[in-house]
């Protein structure tokens, strides 16, 4: 597995490289400290399986870089690793197509869980966004890791909401076509691209998306992502 890290903080970059290399002998990690360096590297060689992206880069806004990566390399999953824990930042990142959001104060075990989940096709968002820990900051029950070398300013954390209740994927009752639409929706594809991918009309896709949202008991795409992410993480914990 080839992983690209984009973070302009030397200590965090080094810590992330150490943690990710520990995932397996076949893991190759390339770290860069700017958006420009990441852009140049991908232009030379786009053979990466995953990108870990910081939002606070010195030469670019991380959200802009996320949009650029999703547009230029739509098959390349991006996980945001940020000092921010603001609910608005998590939601915006997911809205823009990130397959995960990991706060930098997370433990090594949490980061590892997040990366494995994304690489297996799932989505990962912080537990506090899923209502699993109420409005309190997530507790870390491990010895402080090297990822904690940078003090992370804490933002407002999201509490549980109606759409965050735990569901079982098999209980939703989606049709095979709706399941396909949901899969593409979770990848951040707009209706037009979903229609093109599935050879459907845009109006038909809109109908399928509406049906998926009703089945998940949510009203927006972001809520759907959060709901499915909670189901995935809950199922992962039960099987672990």
Domains, the chain, ordered by start: 2-160 (3.40.50.2300), 163-239 (1.10.10.10)
User: How many C-beta neighbours within 10 Å does residue 105 have?
Assistant: 20
Residue 137 scores a pLDDT above 70: no
User: How many C-beta neighbours within 10 Å does residue 53 have?
Assistant: 23
pLDDT of residue 171: 64
Average the pLDDT over each of 99-103, 145-149, 189-193 and give the range with the smallest value: 145-149
Q: Are 128 and 139 in contact (CB under 8 A)?
A: no
Q: What is the mean pLDDT of residues 31-51?
A: 94
pLDDT of residue 54: 94
pLDDT of residue 7: 93
pTM for the whole thing? 0.62
Q: Percentage of residues in the chain with pLDDT exceeding 70?
A: 77
Q: Residues near 183 by Cβ (< 8 Å), separated by ≥ 6?
A: none
Chain segment 2-34, per-residue pLDDT in tens: 999 999 998 888 888 888 888 888 899 999 999
pLDDT of residue 65: 96
Type and span of the H or E element at 29: strand 28-32
> What's the mean per-residue pLDDT of the chain?
77
Q: Percentage of residues in the chain with pLDDT exceeding 90?
A: 29
pLDDT of residue 164: 35
Q: Between residues 128 and 208, which one has the greater pLDDT?
A: 208
Q: Are 94 and 101 in contact (CB under 8 A)?
A: yes
Query: Residues 210-230, buried b or exposed e (16+ Cβ, 10 A)?
Result: ebbbebbebeebebbbbbbbb
d(Cα 36, Cα 86) in Å, to the nearest integer? Answer: 26
pLDDT of residue 199: 93
pLDDT of residue 109: 86
Helices (H), 22-107: 35-44, 62-72, 87-95
Among 46, 10, 48, smallest CA distance to 28 is for 48
pLDDT of residue 239: 55
Q: What is the mean pLDDT of residues 71-98?
A: 88
Q: What is the mean pLDDT of residues 48-73?
A: 93
Residue 169: which pLDDT band, with cuts at 50, 70 and 90? low
End-to-end CA distance of the chain: 23
Residue 132 scores a pLDDT above 90: no
pLDDT of residue 233: 60
Residue 101: which pLDDT band, with cuts at 50, 70 and 90? very high
Q: Between residues 167 and 45, which one has the greater pLDDT?
A: 45
Among 148, 40, 48, 47, smallest CA distance to 103 is for 148
């Amino acid at each position: 597995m080839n992983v690209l890290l984009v973070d302009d903080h030397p200590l965090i970059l080094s810590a992330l490289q150490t943690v990710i290399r520990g995932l397996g002998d076949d893991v190759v990690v390339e770290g860069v400290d700017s958006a420009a360096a990441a852009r140049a590297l991908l232009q030379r060689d786009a053979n990466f399986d995953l990108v870990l992206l910081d939002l606070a880069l010195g030469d670019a806004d991380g959200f802009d870089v996320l949009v650029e990566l999703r547009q230029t390399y739509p098959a390349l999953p991006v996980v945001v690793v940020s000092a921010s824990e603001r609910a608005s930042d998590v939601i915006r990142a997911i809205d823009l197509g990130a397959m995960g959001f990991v706060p930098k104060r997370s433990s090594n075990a949490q980061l590892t869980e997040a990366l494995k989940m994304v690489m297996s096709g799932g989505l990962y968002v912080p537990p506090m966004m899923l209502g699993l820990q109420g409005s309190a900051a997530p507790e870390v029950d491990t010895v402080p890791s090297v990822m904690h070398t940078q003090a992370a300013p804490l933002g407002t954390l999201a509490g549980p909401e109606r759409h965050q209740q735990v569901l079982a994927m098999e209980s939703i009752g989606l049709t095979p076509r709706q399941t396909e639409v949901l899969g593409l929706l979770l990848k951040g594809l707009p209706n037009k691209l979903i229609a093109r991918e599935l050879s459907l009309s845009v109006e038909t896709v809109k109908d399928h998306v509406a049906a998926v949202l009703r089945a998940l008991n949510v009203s927006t795409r972001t809520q759907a992502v959060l709901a499915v992410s909670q189901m995935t993480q809950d199922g992962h914990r039960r099987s672990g």
